[in-house]
A and B are shown apart, each in its own frame.
Chain A
Amino acid sequence: MGIVSRGFRGRRREGGDELPPGQYLVEDFPVLSAGPTPRVPLDRWEFAIDTEDGQTHRWSWQEFMALPMQTPTVDIHCVTKWTKLGTTWEGVSLDVFFEDVESAAEYALVYSYGGYTTNLPLEELLDGKAWIVHSFDGEELEPRHGGPARLLVPHLYFWKSAKWVRGIRLLNEDSPGVWETAGYHNYGDPWREQRYEGD
Chain B
Amino acid sequence: MTAEHLDGNALAGPLGEIFAVDVTAAIGRCASCGLTGPVAALRVYGPEPGLVARCPGCEEVVLRLVRGPGTAWLDLRGTVSLRLNIPD
Chain A: residues with CB nearer than 8 A to chain B? 32-37, 79-80, 115, 159, 179, 181-184, 195-197
CB pair A183–B59 under 8 Å, yes or no, is no
Give the size of the chain B interface in residues (CB under 8 angstroms). Answer: 19
Chain B: residues with CB nearer than 8 A to chain A? 4-5, 45-46, 48-50, 52, 54, 59, 61, 64, 66, 68-69, 71-73, 75
A-B residue pair count with CB separations less than 8 angstroms: 48
**Interface CB pairs A-B, < 8 A, 27:** A32-B48, A32-B49, A33-B45, A34-B45, A34-B46, A34-B49, A35-B45, A35-B61, A36-B5, A36-B54, A79-B49, A80-B48, A115-B61, A159-B49, A179-B49, A179-B50, A181-B75, A182-B50, A182-B64, A183-B73, A184-B49, A184-B66, A195-B68, A196-B68, A196-B69, A196-B71, A197-B73
CA distance A80 to B68 in the complex (A): 11
Report A-chain residues with C-beta under 8 Å of the C-beta of B52: 34-35
CA distance A193 to B79 in the complex (A): 32
Most-contacted residue by chain B among A32, A37, A182 (CB, 10 A): A182
